[in-house]
Amino acid sequence: MSQTDTAETAENAETAATATNRTDSHGVSTTAGETVEETRPEWTSYEAGGETKLAVDDLDVHYGDDHALKGVSMDVPERSVTALIGPSGCGKSTFLRCLNRMNDRIRAASVDGTVEVDGENIYQDGVDLVELRKRVGMVFQSPNPFPKSIRENVSYGPRKHGDIETGLLAKLTGRAEPDREEALVERSLQRAALWDEVNDRLEDNALGLSGGQQQRLCIARCLAVDPEVILMDEPASALDPIATSKIEDLIEDLARDYTVVVVTHSMQQAARVSDQTAVFLTGGELVEYDDTEKIFENPESQRVEDYISGKFG
């Protein structure tokens, strides 16, 4: 994992160079941050406006002996974009994967603390993972469409949840609703700004799409399940600048209806798309969490300031 992260740091730097560079003005140069400072609770006790969608309290993650996240607490407000930034190996991806329990896949991982979605702890007994992941969708770092047609990719989730039926049996028993499927596919693709590019080839294999299209297809696939929260793990890191800007526009647009949490390596991207930003630094600590503007203009922590101005990480 750290290997890919390093590779992407270089890639993001390139992306940053070509894209409009808004953060230049924020790059306040400071004296070299040699001093080791403590993380102070008040830097992360940020109260965002609006309803709290996700409430994380004192979250610890261990991978075997490795302490990947240390006591992270933060509240994510509804219908907004929250960016998670930080250097490689700081635990931001781990944190993201805790929010829909994808960490359960890694057997060595142990999670302590609570994550509440709409006030319900998702780490208590009896949580329905199917229901959780329907509500908290996820888009991955590299586009991962299924080796199926575009239509099947989009309708995959609803079909698996029994919301629409397309099989032979459904046709035999007259339960198939092609119109509903059609509407769902169109609505999801349109919401992901992909409909115009693919509406004439819905039956084509999704692997034939370009990288950017594949990633938007993955977003459409996620939207088709009608989630409330969308987690994105560096969704643009494998894409070229043009595809990246399309994804960024899409993220901003999605925040009108969904709660979006996006991990990114690119500070420019965080500054462009997010409403609030959480900065993780090495060792799995959440150092500062605040309005994006505040983080980039005037961070409280010296380490965050160094990181943002490029002196560290």
Partner 1 sequence: MSRATQTALVRDDRTLYEAAAGTAVGLAGVAFAAGLAALLGVVAIDDPVVGFELSVVFGAVLLALGVAVVGFGMASRLGYVDAAPQPSAGIVAAAAFTGIWVAVGAIVSGAVGLGTGGRLGVGVVSGGIAFAATALPREDIGSTVPAGTVTVLCGLSLVTGVVGPGWEQVLVGYNATLFGDTVVPAIVLFASLVSGWSAAKAYGGFGARGRNVGAYVLIYLVVCSILAVLVGLVAFVTVKGLPGLFNGFGVGSAALISWPFLTNGAGLLADIAGVFPALVGTVWLVIGAVLFAVPTGVGAAVFLSEYAEQGRFTAAVEVATNGLWSTPSIVFGLFGAAFLIPRFGNQKSLIAGMLTLGFMLLPLVLITSREAILAVPDEYRDASAALGVSKWQTIRSVVLPAAIPGVTTGVILGVGRIAGETAPILLTMGGGVLPAKSAAPDVLGSFQLSASPPFVSNPALLEATSALPYQLYALITAGLSGNIQNPQEYAWGLALTLLLVVLAFYAIGIATRYYFRRKLHQ
Partner 2 sequence: MSLPPQTDWRASIERRLTGTREFVDDTDPEALAAVLVSMGSLLAAFVGFLLASPWTAVPFGAFLIATGYGWARHQALVARAVTFAMTTVTLVTLGLIVVFIFAESVPAFRYETASAFGVSVPGLGMFTQARWDAVSDPVRYSLLPMIHGTVMVTAIATLVAAPLGVAAALFIAEIAPPRVRELVKPGIEVLAGIPSIVYGFIGFTVINPWASGAFALNGGSTYLFVGMVVGLMALPTVVSVAEDALTSVPDVMKNGSLALGATDWQSMTSITLPAAFSGVSAAVLLGVGRAIGETMAATVMLAGIPRISEPLVNVFYGYETLTSLIARGYGSANGVHESALFAAGVVLFVTVLCLSVGSQYIEARMRRRLGGVE
Picking from 10, 16, 23, 88, the residue whose alpha carbon sits closest to that of residue 309 is: 23
Tell me how far apart the alpha carbons of residues 150 and 247 are, in angstroms, rounded to a whole number. 18
Q: Which is nearer to partner 2, 226 or 253 (CB)?
A: 226
**Three-state SS at 90:** coil
160 lies in the site for partner 1, by CB under 8 A: yes
CB neighbour list of residue 131: distance below 8 Å, 6 or more residues apart: none
**Least separation, in Å, of the C-beta of 63 and partner 2?**
14
Q: What is the contact mask toward partner 2 in residues 149 to 178, using x (rule: CB under 8 A)?
A: -------xx--xx-----------------
**Least separation, in Å, of the C-beta of 243 and partner 2?**
18
Q: Which is nearer to partner 2, 137 or 313 (CB)?
A: 137
CB 181 within 8 A of CB 165: no
Q: Which structure tokens are listed for 227?
A: 């989630």
Q: Which is nearer to partner 2, 154 or 295 (CB)?
A: 154
Task: Give the interface size with partner 2 as a residue count (CB under 8 A).
Answer: 28
CB 139 within 8 A of CB 231: yes
Q: What is the contact mask toward partner 2 in residues 206 to 245, using x (rule: CB under 8 A)?
A: -x----------x--xx--x--------------------
Write the CA distances from 140 to 49, 97, 102, 231, integer angstroms: 28, 10, 11, 8
Picking from 72, 73, 80, the residue whose alpha carbon sits closest to that of residue 51 is: 80
195 lies in the site for partner 2, by CB under 8 A: no
**Least separation, in Å, of the C-beta of 222 and partner 2?**
7
127 lies in the site for partner 1, by CB under 8 A: yes
Q: Which of 142, 149, 282, 302 binds partner 2 (CB under 8 A)?
A: 142
Q: Which of 226, 252, 291, 300 binds partner 1 (CB under 8 A)?
A: 226
Q: Which structure tokens are listed for 260?
A: 């979006």
6 lies in the site for partner 1, by CB under 8 A: no
Q: How is 249-279 classified by DSSP, letter by letter?
A: HHHHHHTTTSEEEEE-S-HHHHHHH-SEEEE
Tell me how far apart the alpha carbons of residues 266 and 98 are, in angstroms, rounded to a whole number. 22
Q: Which residues bind partner 1 (CB under 8 A)?
A: 117-118, 120, 122, 124, 126-128, 130-132, 135, 160-162, 165, 167-170, 172-173, 175, 226, 257
Q: Which residues bind partner 2 (CB under 8 A)?
A: 100, 102, 105, 107, 129-134, 137-138, 140, 142, 144-148, 156-157, 160-161, 207, 218, 221-222, 225
